[in-house]
Amino acid sequence: MSHRRLPLLVAITATAMMVSAPAHAASVKNFQVEYRAGQTYMTWDNLPGTGWSYHVYESPVRVSSPADIIYATEVGAVGDSSAVDQRLSSLLGELCTYRPDSAMAPVSASKGLYVHTSLRTRDVYYLVIADSVGANVTMDIEVGQSSLMWPVHEERALPRPVWQRTLTTPVSGDVYVLFTSGSNEWHAFPAMTPRGTRTLHFGLKRGEPGGGLLLHGHGRGGSFFSAMSGTGKPGEWVIAMDDYLPTDDVGDFYYGFTEAYDLGSTWNPAPRRGRVVDYTDRGVMFLLDWAEREIGHDRKRVYAMGGSMGGSFASFLAWHHPDRIAAAMAFIPKVCFGYTPDSYPNLRISFDRLWGTVNTNLPTTNGYGIFDWLDGRFMARTLYRHGASPVMGFVGRNDVVVGWPEKIAFFDAMQSNRMGGTWYWDSRAHYDPSNTTDWWPVQQNWQQLYRYSLDRSYPALSNCTADQDPGDGTTLTGDATGTINGAIDWDDDILDEPARYEITLRTRPLPTLSGTLEAPAIAHVDVTPRRLQEFLVTTRVGYHYDAYDQATHTLVASGDLQADSVAILTVPQVPVTPAGTRIILQPLTIAGVSPSQGTPRQPVIALSANPVRGRATVRFAWPGSGRVQVELFDAAGRRVRSVYDGAAQGAGELALATSDLAPGVYMLSARQGAAHGVERVVVVR
Q: What is the pLDDT of residues 155-196, one digit of tens each?
A: 999 999 999 999 999 999 999 999 999 988 888 999 999 998
pLDDT of residue 463: 97
CA separation for the pair 154, 33 (Å, rounded): 11
Poorest-confidence range of 5-9, 112-116, 153-157, 501-505? Answer: 5-9
User: pLDDT, tens digit, for every residue of 626-640?
Assistant: 788 888 988 888 888
Contact partners, residue 277, CB within 8 Å, separation at least 6 = 191, 194, 256, 257, 258, 259, 364, 365
Phi, psi angles (nearest 5°) of residue 176: -120, 160
Q: Which residues pair with 641 in a beta bridge?
A: 632
pLDDT of residue 138: 58
Give the number of other CB atoms < 10 A from CB of residue 267.
Answer: 9
Of residues 615, 627, 611, the one with CA closest to residue 672: 627
pLDDT of residue 604: 76
CATH architecture of 7-154: Sandwich (2.60)
User: pLDDT, tens digit, for every residue of 60-107?
Assistant: 999 999 889 899 999 999 999 999 999 999 999 999 999 999 999 999
CATH topology (fold) of 604-683: Immunoglobulin-like (2.60.40)
Phi, psi angles (nearest 5°) of residue 634: -85, 180
Distances (CA, A) of 487 to 355, 421, 464, 523: 38, 12, 9, 9
Tell me what the pLDDT averaged over the chain comes to.
Answer: 90
Question: Is it the case that residue 647 has pLDDT exceeding 90?
Answer: no
User: Which of the four pLDDT bands, split at 50, 70 and 90, describes residue 595?
Assistant: very low
CA separation for the pair 64, 60 (Å, rounded): 12
Domain ranges of the chain: 7-154, 162-489, 604-683
pTM of the model: 0.86
Contact 43, 111 (CB under 8 A): yes
Question: Is it the case that residue 372 has pLDDT exceeding 90?
Answer: yes
Phi, psi angles (nearest 5°) of residue 477: -125, 160
Query: Would you say the CATH fold of 604-683 matches that of 7-154?
Result: yes
The helix/strand/coil state of 110 is coil
User: pLDDT, tens digit, for every residue of 115-168?
Assistant: 999 889 999 999 999 988 766 555 678 999 999 999 999 999 999 999 999 999
Question: Is it the case that residue 591 has pLDDT exceeding 50?
Answer: no
Question: Is it the case that residue 198 has pLDDT exceeding 60?
Answer: yes
Radius of gyration of the chain (CA): 30
Question: Which of 653 and 600 is assigned the larger pLDDT?
Answer: 653
CATH architecture of 162-489: 3-Layer(aba) Sandwich (3.40)
User: Which of the four pLDDT bands, split at 50, 70 and 90, describes residue 546?
Assistant: very high
CA separation for the pair 223, 226 (Å, rounded): 6
Backbone CA torsion sign across 256, 261, 267, 273:
negative
pLDDT of residue 2: 39
Poorest-confidence range of 283-292, 313-322, 584-593? Answer: 584-593
CA separation for the pair 245, 627 (Å, rounded): 60
Question: Is it the case that residue 465 has pLDDT exceeding 90?
Answer: yes
Distances (CA, A) of 209 to 176, 213, 337, 454: 20, 10, 38, 18
User: pLDDT, tens digit, for every residue of 51-70?
Assistant: 899 999 999 999 999 889 89
Contact 466, 507 (CB under 8 A): yes
